[in-house]
Structure 1
Amino acid sequence: MNGKHVNTIKENRRIWRKLHFAVDVSTHEVITAEVSLVFVGDNKLSPTLLNLLQRKIQQVSTDGAYDTKVCHHVLKNKGITPSIPPPSNA
């Protein structure tokens, strides 16, 4: 085979993805969404989700995964009040 290794095993690995939503709590309308690979942390997408929005956001409620300096910085720069509980290991 001319010195080349031929891989005849077909791999059937699943590549998981996560779908992140920003939802208007008063209307339950999805106002933005983003897809990421499973290993991308939720807090890494908060700037992306917020930058996609075309409306003024007054307050954001999230889980403890978003309690990071980056998330707080983005929210502060946009004039958004955060409602983020500390992570369970705080």
Structure 2
Amino acid sequence: MNIELYTDVMLTRDIPAERLRLGDVVTLVDIVRHPSGGEDGAVVELFNAVGESIAVAIVPVSAVAPLRADQMPAVRPLQKAKV
């Protein structure tokens, strides 16, 4: 993957365990190797609509893609964690 670190990227699929959805915009922080040879991970930081950092997650590298000029960001309510 040739995406520069610390740039915004979009998710290409839902990540239910992290409460993330297809199209969410996150910041790519790092790329990490899978410990047993599986797909590498993308470390992403999540921000709310006012720019406050709310979480860091690791998702498969295939689940992130660069933003494109023909895309429009949107907002959605943040799902609460299930207890």
TM-score (norm 2): 0.21
Q: Does 1 or 2 have the higher relative contact order (CA < 8 Å, sep 6+)?
A: 2
TM-score (norm 1): 0.20
User: Structure 1 or 2: larger helix share?
Assistant: 1
Structure (1 or 2) with the larger CA radius of gyration: 1
